[in-house]
Structure 1
């Protein structure tokens, strides 16, 4: 995929909040901005999204809340089935990020530090 570089100016307080949220989610500021813009311009995301998926997308799931034996993950107090984005087994020592929600199945991807 080809990418383009651009400059975006943020008010200082917004930039600091963005920086904090990105750090909390183990993402770069660039990843946060790209994902947010992609969601904003993707018409199908708006028409097909549910309140539940909006509440759990981009949630960080700690290793203790991923139950590989049963194929379940606990997010915001609710158990979901999961798939990994790379179709690899769960790495028990690292957190995962919820990248997609379809019905009661979440797609999670490992967060690389």
Structure 2
């Protein structure tokens, strides 16, 4: 298969193009509204959490200190892999030089 991009041999009717544009606009508006709702929800949850931590600090400084500690078991992550990678045979490393191929117009 050739690497050239194939062009369509026919033109879409204007009403199909208009429908596609309208659908794309509607989808964009929907995703924007979804983003706003999620951002608002996250902000509200974070404000509630901050308020709860402030109230907990009023009750007990020790409990507050425990509550703000990171839970290392929440997201266990262990990466394993090679510490060093062997070099690629016959690889000519670039040395930072370049050839100026700018066209000059006289």
Q: Same fold (TM over 0.5)?
A: no
**The TM-score by the shorter chain falls in which range?**
under 0.3
Q: Which has the higher strand share?
A: 1
Q: Which has the larger helix fraction?
A: 2
TM-score normalised by length of structure 2: 0.25
Larger radius of gyration: 2
